[in-house]
Chains A and B, each alone.
Chain A
Amino acid sequence: KAGVTQTPRYLIKTRGQQVTLSCSPISGHRSVSWYQQTPGQGLQFLFEYFSETQRNKGNFPGRFSGRQFSNSRSEMNVSTLELGDSALYLCASSLGPGFSYEQYFGPGTRLTVT
């Protein structure tokens, strides 16, 4: 079974721009969660989508948004980029909604904001 894939793997953007990251879950997984990894804050939960609906949301500003398509693929969008948005963005898929199931992580997208 193919694992979770994320595109692009690396991205350089300028402050003020917006960016869209993509995540394809493991086949059969309907839940996709997004996380931000920074050296200072560690791994932080952004949001979770299940069956095209945002089920859960972390403590990030409205500039961070996402969506999920009918094939369970998910996108995350960050608008008006700030230098502090530079991070590794990981998505993870799981069998069911919530966090009673193991999360299977993708390789991540490394975003650098200059």
Chain B
Amino acid sequence: ILNVEQSPQSLHVQEGDSTNFTCSFPSSNFYALHWYRWETAKSPEALFVMTLNGDEKKKGRISATLNTKEGYSYLYIKGSQPEDSATYLCASTASQGGSEKLVFGKGTKLTVNP
């Protein structure tokens, strides 16, 4: 069974703070790690897809790193804003019985207070 773990489960920060979350995944049979932002009453929005060990990706104030050998990824938000409040999901690929799937963690719920 493939478990994707995210920590912390929730986080409250002040506007302007920088923050980071962790995603842990089994490194065997891995080929891609996804990050999504899911705001209440909206659809999950893709942030990054990373495949190579050492990958670093950036989109505005948000960046992510990937370590496939030890099975973890970090998501960083610099200078958090209230509009960053959302649940951040990571998902890892897995192979099982000849089929591939995308396994999601339970997410980190971020609340940014003005």
A-side interface residues toward B, CB under 8 Å? Answer: 3-4, 33, 35, 42-45, 48, 55-59, 90, 92, 98-108
Interface residues on B, range: 20 to 34
Complex Cα–Cα for A101 and B106 (A): 21
Chain A: minimal CB distance from B92 (Å): 9
* Of A35, A44, A56, A106, the contact of B99 (CB 8 Å cutoff): A56
Q: How many A-B residue pairs have CB under 8 A?
A: 63
With contacts A105-B43, A106-B43, A108-B43 taken as known, whether A43 is within 8 angstroms of B32 at the C-beta atoms is: no
Interface-facing stretch out of B18-26, B44-52, B60-68, B70-78 = B44-52
Top 3 nearest A-B pairs (CB, nearest first) are A102-B46, A105-B43, A43-B104
Chain B: minimal CB distance from A106 (Å): 6
Q: A residues within 8 A CB of B91?
A: 43, 99
Q: A residues within 8 A CB of B46?
A: 102-104
Contact in complex: A99, B34 (CB < 8 Å): yes
Q: B residues within 8 A CB of A59?
A: 96
* Of B31, B43, B107, the contact of A42 (CB 8 Å cutoff): B107
Complex Cα–Cα for A74 and B91 (A): 23
